[in-house]
Amino acid sequence: MGKQFFGTDGIRGRTNQGTMTAATAMRVGQAAGTHFLRGAHRHRVVIGKDTRLSGYMLENAMVAGFTSVGMDVVLLGPMPTPAVALLTRELRADVGVMISASHNPYEDNGIKLFGPDGFKLSDADELAIEAMLAQDLPLAPSAEIGRARRVDDANGRYIHAVKAALPSSVRLDGLKIAVDCANGAAYQVAPAAFWELGAEIVSIGVSPNGRNINERCGSTHVDLLQETVVSCGADIGIALDGDADRLIVVDEKGRTVDGDQIMALTGSQLAARGELRGGGVVATVMSNLGLERFLNGQGLSLERTAVGDRHVLERMREGGFNVGGEQSGHMILLDHATTGDGTVAALQVLAALVQSGKRASELLHLFDPVPQLLRNVRFAGGRPLEEDSVRAAIADAQASLDGRGRLVIRPSGTEPVIRVMAEGDDAGEVEAAVASICHAVEKAAA
């Protein structure tokens, strides 16, 4: 049976519409709490959130749900997703919750769940919780209703943890860093962590008002950061998204450095020190062919997975890898975190900058990406990818790129859209391949 509520990264949707309501949030709290009521100890859940207006509503609803089944609640307030994962383990909690819709606009929100080990839940756990959402769950007796309290030092705990990801000998003295926190969950902790390590900080996207999260700022809108880096003479720019599990970098010239380049740097540096596990890096099918060629040239592999940091993490754990991520900026460094952590990844980049003595523009562009083109084709219904005409167009396009590029054709998991991506050494061939497939899909779906 497929999942009705949980998607590739928890439950997500427009607030006060569909499933993303206070009523659903309370039911998820009751179901997840019931699922994790294991053993005779006093049970505990850790709840963090980003800065969306709807976070107050969903947080209170989840507190009601968890406490009603007898679970104590620890409230962290606005904190990055990786901080929730970390503190779930540190506080010996049974489950962790992050209320966030990541890089989406403020009107959306979501619920991400972590197990007691700090990793996102398995499919089996999510299916079990979903099954409970339709059931009448037993409530705790009056004397056993849970309590809720806030942890005042959550920021300090997380800052200490991310700083520990660097050798004690590394300081950021002399670096001028522009930091864009997307008016999101890291608006306090990320600038503080960099400042405590000695850097001069220019902060933007640190004035959340409930509605401006990810609004023309953060890792999905880097124009403001690019302008800020150049205008203030910063050595580097750091862009996080709304829940701070993504990282995009801007060099001192204002050029963007995506997740592929960051993986190339981190993977090759760890390999040079004998600290890279798994013999390579794990990324998704969307990572550029240039990254694969660069890693192969270093004697390293690139393992590809389906789109989504969850799939990357699963492969990393299966194969014993410690570096993985996505072109979009999710960076998973398992030596330091159990999920994507933009601040931890940024510190690895900053440490490399200090230790190399190079400018960011010299250090962070390790390979030339091959031309890559992605287009979305919307369709009204049916299964256009199963049509013979579409299959023929895909086969012809693949043949035209044979040995010089590749195709990735996939349906969206959240909307009636076919995503058509091609990349290769010849931009004209890439454009022609994408155009022919898109035309075939549009015709088949008409």
d(Cα 19, Cα 108) in Å, to the nearest integer?
11
Catalytic: which of 54, 102, 219, 328?
102
Q: What is the DSSP string of 28-55?
A: HHHHHHHHT--SSSPPEEEEEE-S-THH
Task: Judge contact between 405 and 422, C-beta under 8 A.
Answer: yes
CA torsion, ordered 177, 183, 188, 192, to nearest 10 deg: 0
Each residue of 211-248: b (16+ CB within 10 Å) or e?
ebbbeebbbbbbebbbebbeeeebbbbbbbbbbbbbbb
d(Cα 119, Cα 122) in Å, to the nearest integer?
9
Task: Judge contact between 323 and 271, C-beta under 8 A.
Answer: no
> Residue 374 contacts by C-beta under 8 Å, 6 or more apart in sequence?
286, 419, 420, 421, 434
Task: Judge contact between 161 and 118, C-beta under 8 A.
Answer: no
Q: Compute φ and ψ for 236, nearest 5 degrees.
A: -165, 155
d(Cα 442, Cα 205) in Å, to the nearest integer?
40
Token reading at 272: 């040079």
With residue 248 as reference, give the H or E element that holds it. Answer: strand 247-251
Active site residue 102: yes
Q: How far is CA 441 from the centre of its chain?
A: 30
Task: Judge contact between 187 and 179, C-beta under 8 A.
Answer: no
Decide: helix, strand or coil at residue 291.
Answer: helix
Q: CA triplet 374, 375, 381: central angle to 5 degrees?
A: 135
Q: Compute φ and ψ for 283, nearest 5 degrees.
A: -140, 180
Q: CB 408: neighbour CB atoms within 10 A?
A: 17
Task: Judge contact between 390 and 440, C-beta under 8 A.
Answer: yes
> What residues are annotated to the active site?
102
